[in-house]
Amino acid sequence: MNIRINGTLSGEVTPPPSKSQAHRMLICAALGNRPCTIACSTLNDDLIATTNCLNTLGAHITYDNGLFNIEPIKIKKNGTLDCGESGSTLRFLLPVAAILEADATFVGHGKLPQRPNGALCEALESHGITFERQNPEAELPLTCHGRLRGGKYTLPGNISSQYLTGLLFALPLAQEDSEIEITGLLTSASYIEMTLDAISMAGIKITRQANTFYIKGGQQYSLPQKTKIEGDWSSAAFWIVAGVIGEKSVTVCNMHRASLQGDRHIIEHLRKMGAFIEETERGIVANPSQLFGTEIDCTDTPDLVPILSVAASAALGTTVFTNVGRLRYKESDRLAAMKSMLTAFGIVSEIGTDTFAVHGNKSTALHPIESFGDHRIAMSAAILSTISQGTTEIKDSGCVAKSYPRFFEDFVSLGGFAQK
């Protein structure tokens, strides 16, 4: 599905719940010792994938009227876990399936079968798991056999925090105590804080000293009977940027300012560029601002780079994003995808080994935008269209359903025009 859009945005908008937090709470609930509910006002494709996979493992999770009802896993073996295009679902549940001795087969779609999982699989193989790969040229389909043991684990910190999160979910259920040492810089550290917070809410105790995690075996998950998912800062970032680059203010409602989500730093990143953003009782008010090029370290906020590149397009001068090499292994090669998207608007950008530079300029909708099936590229293009001359056409715009199915409806509610 292609969509044609333009228009000036203003008004109030409420982003969807945090899918990062929802993934984690669903897993904690499914591993628990009693039924519980999780309030989550909307669904997306990634959360549906996690829910379906947990049900395949033996949970009974239903969703109705903004509420998950979860009955914990009673293990079912030899199931096929369809992770859709969700890297979180795959990497979180590989160790979980292994600790449950589920002998499960993981499949995926889009770019997920090509996304790397080598370091995680090596860690599991060294602790009792064997893997059967049906396609030697792809990561998926992948079948795991055996039961995961505790013990000493070592993981590189510069690849994916999702590897560590998966082990943090699984190892409290091991018979043995465990220790996980992270070598090098731990990237996307805020996602680990979110994992530790969710696990702690479920009664699991993990001790951390710097980049080493100590985990007692034989623990039991017990999430509170009622929890609620907070607003998603990754989604809020699109509207905040729309406000600061546009002609009118945009207010983003229902956001938890003290959230552990790393993407809450969108405010600090934009303020560094000169943005005038107010934090009020009503919400985050993003005001039209003159932005200036700067350097932004994206070690902990890689998902913000696409929408920050839109802000950089509207800035005076050049903005350089550093520590962005991991973006090559997302739903698309996001460095190449962003360069393609910006070029279609007449914006010059440059890809380095671990950097992405954007030269600010006036943008014009020169060509249809290829989304590469990547939700963040499609949404970023939509926001850039609001300050571009002409009408923008975005190809495969339905990919926004991965994280924000109502995105274009909210775009229209703020005064934009969208036609399929």
Distance of alpha carbon 124 from alpha carbon 186, whole angstroms: 20
Walk across the sheet containing 276-279 and list its strands. 11-13, 250-252, 284-287, 276-279
Longest dimension (CA), the chain: 62
Cα(83)–Cα(28) distance, rounded to whole angstroms?
A: 18
Q: Convert 223-244 to b/e letters by CB count within 10 Å (16 or more is b).
A: bbeebebbbbbbbbbbbbbbbb
Instruction: Give dist(CA 174, CA 256) in Å, integer.
Output: 34
User: Letter for the amino acid at 236?
Assistant: A
Contact indicator for 172, 219 with CB cutoff of 8 Å: yes
Side-chain-facing half-sphere of 315: CA atoms under 13 Å: 28
Spatial CA neighbour of 55 closest among 32, 42, 43, 72: 72
318-322 and 295-297 beta bridge pairing: parallel
Residue 409's Cβ-count burial label (10 Å; 0-12, 13-18, 19+) is: exposed
Cβ(349)–Cβ(342) below 8 Å? yes
- CA-based nearest residue to 111, from 132, 80, 89, 138: 138
Residue 293 vs residues 49, 263, 290, 296, 360: alpha-carbon distances, Å: 39, 20, 10, 9, 8
Catalytic residues: 303
CA nearest to 316, candidates 361, 268, 255: 361
